[in-house]
Amino acid sequence: MSSRANHMPLTPQSFLRRNARVYPDKTAIIHGGRTTSYARFYERACRQANGLRALGVGVNDSVAVLAPNTPPHLEANFGVHMAGGTLVAINNRLSAEEIAFIVGHCEAQVMLVDWEYLPTLRKVADKLRSVRQFIVAQEPGHAPEWLPPGAVDYEEFLAAADTTDPMILPSDENNVISINYTSGTTGNPKGVMYTHRGAYLNGVCNLLEMNMSAEAVYLWTLPMFHCNGWCYTWGVTAIGGTHVCLRGVVPDVVIGSILEHQVTHFCGAPIVLAMIVDGAKKAGVTKFPHRLKVSTAAAPPSPAVIAAMLNLNVDVIHVYGLTETYGPTTVCEVQPAWRDLDVGRVSGLMARQGVPYILAEDCLVLDAEGRPVPADGQTMGEVCMRGNIVMQGYYKNPRATEEALRGGWFHSGDLGVMHPDGYIELKDRAKDIIISGGENISTIEVENT
């Protein structure tokens, strides 16, 4: 017999509800000189949800967010779907026309925009016809020159809303929680639909793969707009960790944040790692006083970067994924025997994309007939995934969905080989993949210096 007694839909909403009760006074968010407790985080998410409901946002209505890695953006990762809506976090590096396309395509009813991007939004304000209400997140000392017609201040919006939890749970855990748009290398970007179930599971996956505990302090060097921050928006909250927000990745700010807040985890492309190495050198930091872990993707980390990060007291974890797989879906698990090898040999092994995430189910290299290629490290095929953290499909694009999910696999378009030890290695890329500083990588570039 199935009932609420033994089955509840998986949803990241439960993460914040739990930790508001378990860790009410613990610091959930740090931004500049301000801290927010878990109780306050939960209250603000409830206020956001009720405010959105008062604006008419209901089940499956899209709410667009154009913001950097700030508390309002993080709060939207809970408040929007607590209202029953669908979160659409927009790449803040896109052009005004690209932003207008996404807002129109997802038919966003409400748009939360940070003051920094108002000049960009102003260029296409007349094209955002689906938006009934603009909400502007402002900060002291930054008075905007222009506001969208009828815009309300974010803090005033929250203050006017009720603090009661609306408790709008998804009727099905496979309902859409967010839409993340690809970069659109050929034509318009596609809207990748994430489910409550997939978001929940990949958030937990990250905790397991990064060995995170309630003492985790996560630094937001990875954009929250990218795969909902690889689902760390939900994962860090699930474990009761602390989010350290950043408006941008500035070397001295990153180094200062690591030292001041005793950061334990962060993510980013190798270019971000190299920036941290250089920033630490300029700051006179030869080794961080505590151990850190970094999850990196895009190009494999070079031997020089791996060695430099280890010298700084930072363990490097190489992951791989796409927007269609909620971010990371494989990890290059470091084997105990590798620890006795020299850094050059280790970096060669770590350059591989690895094995499936714990809850990802499967990732193989298939030939043109859909058969696994020999595990010889030489025979190339297409990297394909299936399981719990693969997208539901492309929004309003059934033809592209059918093509991508044909044969019971998600076809990444990336070419790779399978090594005898079961580790996958990419050889060429036909699609954009995870990267912090930019996207649209078409080939692998590995620097061995």
- What are the structural domains, with CATH classification, of the chain? 37-171 (3.40.50.980), 198-428 (3.40.50.12780)
Per-residue confidence in pLDDT tens, the chain, 449 aa: 778 899 999 999 999 999 999 999 999 999 999 999 999 999 999 999 999 999 999 999 999 999 999 999 999 999 999 999 999 999 999 999 999 999 999 999 999 999 999 999 999 999 999 999 999 999 888 888 999 999 999 999 999 999 999 999 999 999 999 999 997 666 789 999 999 999 999 999 999 999 999 999 999 999 999 999 999 999 999 999 999 999 999 999 999 999 999 999 999 999 999 999 999 999 999 999 999 999 999 878 888 898 999 999 999 999 999 999 999 999 999 999 998 898 889 889 999 999 999 999 999 999 999 999 999 999 999 999 999 999 999 999 999 999 999 999 999 999 999 999 999 999 987 554 444 343 333 344 333 33
Q: Who's near 399: CB < 8 A, 6+ residues apart?
A: none
Are the beta carbons of 294 and 206 closer than 8 angstroms? no
Are the beta carbons of 51 and 160 closer than 8 angstroms? yes
Q: Whole-prediction pTM value? A: 0.94
Distance, in Å, from the CA atom of 371 to the CA atom of 355, rounded to the nearest integer, reads: 18
Q: What is the DSSP string of 199-246?
A: HHHHHHHHHHHTT--TT-EEE--S-TTSHHHHTHHHHHHHHT-EEE-B
The neighbouring-strand residues paired with 382 are: 366, 415
